C-alpha cells in the first residue's frame, strides 16, 4: 500500500448496525437516514447492514433502499443478500450453524426450564407456541413465526436459538441455561428476558472483517457504525490498527478498538457522510473526546423534551395530592432542607418506599417528585419522598448530600412505627443523580455508622443512574462538582459491591445517552459477577426523563417491577 493511501483511506465498505443505529427507538428507518445511506451507496461504497435478525426479518428494511445492501445476519453468523424479486437469501458468503446435537440439548434445557425456544434458520423462524413476548417480537420485526412442535425436524442446524421468557421469571430461568452452554456456543443477553445463542465465535465485528477480505477491501478502508464487540479480540480477528470504528457515537478513526458505546444514533446522516474521517479532539474516556463525553453527561443533548417532562413531574405530583391528600412533612435533621414527605397508606405495619429524586445533583424537590406516590399508597405501602441539599449549596461537594440521604433513611427506620410503617420492609427508589445517591445508600455501613442492622434496605430500584464517578469527573459536571480522589472512590457504588446486600433492579431507556446506558449495564454485570441479586429493565423508546414516569403506573415498566419487588 502506498504511503499516502495508508495515512488516510476513503471508506470502501460501510457496515451499519440495524437494531441500535440504523433504526430509531421505534424501530423505524427515518427518511434522512435512508437518504444518507442511499447517497453513500451511490458514491460507490459497499454498504452492509448488520443485525441480530435473520435475513427474512430485514426484508421490509431492505426494500426501502434504492440499492441492494449486503447483509450480515444472526449477529455475524450469516453473510449474503436478498434476491431482488423473491426476497429469498442468495449469494451466501458465510453460513455458520449450531450443530444439531447441541441445538437439541439447548432446546431440551429451555423446555425443561419452562422457557420457549425460538429456532432460526435463514429461511425460517419456528416456535412451539405464541407467547405474549414472542408476539411482541414478531410485531417489532414484522415477521410471523411458524408454530410447530417439531422445532428441529430433520436434524435442522439452526443459525440461532433465542430463548424468550417473561421478565418476572427470566432471572431464575435463563442464567442456569447460559452457564451450562457457554463452552459450546456464543451466548448473549440482548434483553433481560432474551437469551440469544449462536455458534461459537460468532460476532458482527468478525463478520465485517471477513466480508472485507471477501470483497478485497483493505481494513483501513472499512467503517463500522454501531457494531458491537469491537474490542481487542476484534483487532486480533482482522481489524487493523487504523480501521475506522464507529460505535453509536460520532465517527472517528481510532488507533485501536475500544469498548462499544451503545445508544440510538442521533446524527446518523452525519456519521455516514463523514465516515472518511472527521476532526476530533484527543480521546478522554472510552474513545470519546471531551465534547462527546460532556454531551454524554448532558441530558439535554439527548432529550429535547426535558423541560416539558420535568414540568410534568410537578403537575402530576400536584394532581396526586388532590387524590391522596397532602403529605405529613417531617424533619429528619437540624437544617431546614433536611425534611421528608410521608404519604401514608391505611394499611397497618405497611412496607415503605423511599424515593430519591434526580436533577444532576443541582435541582429537584420532594414536592415535585411525588408523581408515583399514589401507586404505593393505593397498593398498601407508605411513600416517602426526600428533600436534601443540592451540590452547589454544599460548595461543590456531594458528601453532604449523601450524608443527608443516609440519615433520612436511618430516620425512616427508627421512626417507622410513628406513621404505621414496617422498619423491616424499607425499599428505595432513585432516579438519575438520585439513583447514584440510592446506590451509595446501598453500600452504607449501617452497623458501625448508625448502630442499625446491616440490612436496613430490603430492595432497590435504581433508574438511569451513575455508579462509577470517574467518567463523570472527567466531564463538564466537574465545573460544578468539586471532585476529589477521596470523593470519587467513596461515592462510586460499583467499587464497593461487597457492602451491598439486597436485591437491585436497574433500568435505563434506549434513548438515553451512551454513558448512562453503559453505567447501568456495567453495574449490572459487576453485580451479577459478584453473585448479587440483580435484574435489568430496558425501556424501549424512552429517554432519561420519560422512563421514570412509568413508575407511577402499576402496569408500567418500573411500576410493575417495584410492586413485584415489594411483594405488593
- What distance, in Å, lies between the first and last C-alpha atoms of the chain? 67
What's the mean pLDDT in 20-44?
A: 79
Higher local confidence (pLDDT), 183 or 394: 394
What's the mean pLDDT in 220-226?
A: 81
Per the CB < 8 A criterion, the answer to whether 247 and 261 are in contact is yes
DSSP 56-97: GGGHHHHTTSSS--EEEEGGGTEEEEE-TTT--EEEEEEE--
The pLDDT tens digits for 137-155 are 888 788 889 999 889 987 7
Beta-ladder partners of 539: 509
Per the CB < 8 A criterion, the answer to whether 354 and 387 are in contact is no
Please write down the HEC assignment for all residues of 310-354: HHHHHHHHHHHHHHHCCCEEEECCCCCCCEEEEECCCCCCEEEEE
Specify the pLDDT at position 25: 59
pLDDT class for 220, splitting at 50, 70, 90?
confident
Percent of the chain whose pLDDT exceeds 70: 88
Beta-ladder partners of 241: none
State the Cα–Cα distance between residues 251 and 273, nearest whole angstrom.
10
Per the CB < 8 A criterion, the answer to whether 428 and 438 are in contact is yes
Sequence spans of domains, the chain: 3-94+202-280, 100-198, 301-565
Specify the pLDDT at position 27: 66
Specify the pLDDT at position 252: 24
Q: Which CATH number fits domain 301-565: 3.40.50.1820, 3.40.50.850, 3.40.1260.10, 3.40.50.2000?
A: 3.40.50.1820
Per the CB < 8 A criterion, the answer to whether 320 and 348 are in contact is no
Per the CB < 8 A criterion, the answer to whether 268 and 234 are in contact is no
Superfamily of domain 3-94+202-280: HAD superfamily/HAD-like (3.40.50.1000)
Question: What is the CATH number assigned to the segment(s) 100-198?
Answer: 3.30.1240.10
How many CB atoms neighbour CB 429 within 10 A?
A: 29
Higher local confidence (pLDDT), 451 or 113: 451
In angstroms, what CA-CA distances link 468 with 65, 499, 546?
42, 15, 23
Q: Is the pLDDT of residue 253 over 50?
A: no
Beta-ladder partners of 213: none
The pLDDT tens digits for 424-483 are 999 999 999 999 999 999 999 999 999 999 999 999 999 999 999 999 999 999 999 999
What's the mean pLDDT in 354-368?
A: 97
Specify the pLDDT at position 36: 86
Helix (H, G, I), strand (E, B) or coil at 483: coil
Percent of the chain whose pLDDT exceeds 90: 59
Q: Look at residues 98, 89, 16, 97 and name the one whose alpha carbon lies nearest to residue 51.
A: 16
Element (H, E) at 120: strand 116-120
The pLDDT tens digits for 123-135 are 999 999 999 888 8
State the Cα–Cα distance between residues 294 and 363, nearest whole angstrom.
19
Per the CB < 8 A criterion, the answer to whether 428 and 352 are in contact is no
Indicate if 100-198 has the same CATH topology as 3-94+202-280. no
Q: Is the pLDDT of residue 347 over 80?
A: yes
| Lowest mean per-residue pLDDT among 53-57, 377-381, 408-412, 500-504 | 53-57
What's the mean pLDDT in 479-490?
A: 97
State the Cα–Cα distance between residues 485 and 488, nearest whole angstrom.
5
The pLDDT tens digits for 283-300 are 898 878 898 899 999 998
Q: Is the pLDDT of residue 545 over 60?
A: yes
- Cα-to-chain-centroid distance, residue 474: 22
| Range from 91-95, 264-268, 466-470 that averages highest in pLDDT | 466-470
How many CB atoms neighbour CB 511 within 10 A?
A: 23
Q: Which three cell numbers stand for residue 497?
A: 459491591
| Lowest mean per-residue pLDDT among 10-14, 47-51, 75-79 | 10-14
Specify the pLDDT at position 279: 52
The pLDDT tens digits for 191-205 are 888 999 999 988 888
| Range from 160-169, 181-190, 325-334, 520-529 that averages highest in pLDDT | 325-334
Q: Which class for 564: exposed (0-12), middle (13-18), buried (19 or more C-beta within 10 A)?
A: middle
Cβ-defined contacts of 133-138 (< 8 Å, 24+): 133/164, 133/165, 133/166, 133/193, 134/164, 137/164
Per the CB < 8 A criterion, the answer to whether 251 and 275 are in contact is yes
Specify the pLDDT at position 240: 34
Q: Which residue has the cell 481489524?
A: 239
Higher local confidence (pLDDT), 262 or 382: 382
Amino acid at each position: 500500500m502506498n504511503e499516502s493511501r495508508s495515512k488516510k483511506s476513503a471508506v470502501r465498505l460501510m457496515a451499519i448496525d440495524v437494531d441500535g443505529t440504523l433504526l430509531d427507538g421505534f424501530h423505524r428507518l427515518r427518511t434522512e437516514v435512508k437518504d444518507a445511506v442511499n447517497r453513500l451507496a451511490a458514491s460507490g461504497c459497499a454498504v452492509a447492514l448488520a443485525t441480530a435478525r435473520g435475513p427474512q426479518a430485514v426484508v421490509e428494511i431492505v426494500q426501502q433502499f434504492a440499492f441492494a445492501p449486503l447483509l450480515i445476519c444472526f449477529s455475524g453468523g450469516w453473510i449474503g443478500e436478498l434476491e431482488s424479486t423473491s426476497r429469498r437469501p442468495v449469494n451466501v458468503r458465510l453460513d455458520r450453524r449450531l450443530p444439531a446435537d447441541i441445538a437439541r440439548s439447548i432446546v431440551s434445557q429451555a423446555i425443561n426450564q419452562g422457557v420457549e425456544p425460538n429456532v432460526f434458520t435463514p429461511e425460517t423462524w419456528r416456535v412451539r407456541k405464541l407467547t405474549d413476548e414472542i408476539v411482541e417480537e414478531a410485531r417489532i420485526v414484522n415477521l410471523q413465526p411458524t408454530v410447530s412442535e417439531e422445532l428441529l425436524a430433520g436434524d435442522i442446524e439452526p443459525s440461532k436459538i433465542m430463548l424468550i421468557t417473561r421478565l418476572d421469571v427470566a432471572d431464575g430461568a435463563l442464567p442456569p441455561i447460559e452457564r451450562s452452554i457457554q463452552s459450546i456456543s456464543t451466548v448473549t443477553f440482548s434483553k433481560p428476558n432474551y437469551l440469544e445463542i449462536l455458534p461459537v465465535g460468532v460476532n458482527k465485528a468478525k463478520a465485517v472483517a471477513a466480508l472485507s477480505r471477501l470483497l478485497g477491501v483493505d481494513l483501513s478502508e472499512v467503517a463500522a457504525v454501531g457494531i458491537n464487540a469491537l474490542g481487542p479480540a476484534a483487532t486480533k480477528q482482522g481489524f487493523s490498527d487504523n480501521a475506522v470504528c464507529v460505535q453509536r457515537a460520532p465517527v472517528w478513526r481510532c488507533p485501536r478498538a475500544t469498548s462499544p458505546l451503545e445508544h440510538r444514533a442521533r446524527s446518523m446522516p452525519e456519521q455516514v457522510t463523514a465516515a472518511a474521517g472527521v476532526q476530533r479532539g484527543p480521546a478522554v474516556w472510552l474513545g470519546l473526546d471531551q465534547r462527546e463525553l460532556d454531551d454524554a453527561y448532558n441530558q439535554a443533548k439527548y432529550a429535547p423534551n426535558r423541560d416539558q417532562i420535568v414540568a410534568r413531574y410537578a403537575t402530576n405530583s400536584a394532581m396526586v395530592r388532590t387524590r391522596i391528600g397532602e403529605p405529613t412533612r417531617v424533619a429528619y435533621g437540624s437544617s431546614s432542607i433536611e425534611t421528608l414527605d410521608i404519604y401514608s397508606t391505611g394499611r397497618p405495619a405497611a412496607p415503605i418506599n423511599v424515593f430519591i429524586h434526580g436533577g444532576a445533583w443541582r435541582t429537584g424537590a420532594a414536592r415535585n417528585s411525588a408523581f408515583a406516590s399514589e401507586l404505593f399508597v393505593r397498593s398498601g405501602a407508605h411513600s416517602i419522598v426526600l428533600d436534601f441539599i443540592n451540590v452547589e449549596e454544599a460548595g461543590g461537594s456531594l458528601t453532604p448530600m449523601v450524608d443527608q440521604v443516609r440519615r433520612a433513611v436511618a430516620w425512616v427506620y427508627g421512626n417507622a412505627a410513628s406513621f404505621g410503617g414496617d422498619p423491616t420492609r424499607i425499599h428505595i427508589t432513585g432516579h438519575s443523580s438520585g439513583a447514584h445517591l440510592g446506590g451509595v445508600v446501598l453500600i452504607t455501613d449501617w452497623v458501625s455508622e448508625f448502630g442499625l442492622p446491616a440490612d436496613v434496605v430490603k430492595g432497590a430500584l435504581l433508574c438511569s443512574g451513575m455508579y462509577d464517578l470517574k467518567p463523570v469527573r472527567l466531564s463538564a459536571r466537574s465545573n460544578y462538582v468539586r471532585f476529589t480522589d477521596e470523593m470519587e472512590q467513596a461515592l462510586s457504588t460499583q467499587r464497593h459491591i461487597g457492602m451491598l446486600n439486597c436485591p437491585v433492579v436497574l433500568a435505563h431507556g434506549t434513548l438515553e445517552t451512551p454513558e448512562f446506558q453503559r453505567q447501568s449495564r456495567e453495574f449490572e454485570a459487576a453485580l451479577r459477577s459478584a453473585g448479587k441479586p440483580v435484574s435489568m429493565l430496558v425501556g424501549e423508546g424512552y429517554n432519561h426523563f420519560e422512563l421514570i414516569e412509568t413508575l407511577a403506573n402499576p402496569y408500567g415498566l418500573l411500576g410493575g417491577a417495584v410492586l413485584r419487588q415489594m411483594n405488593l
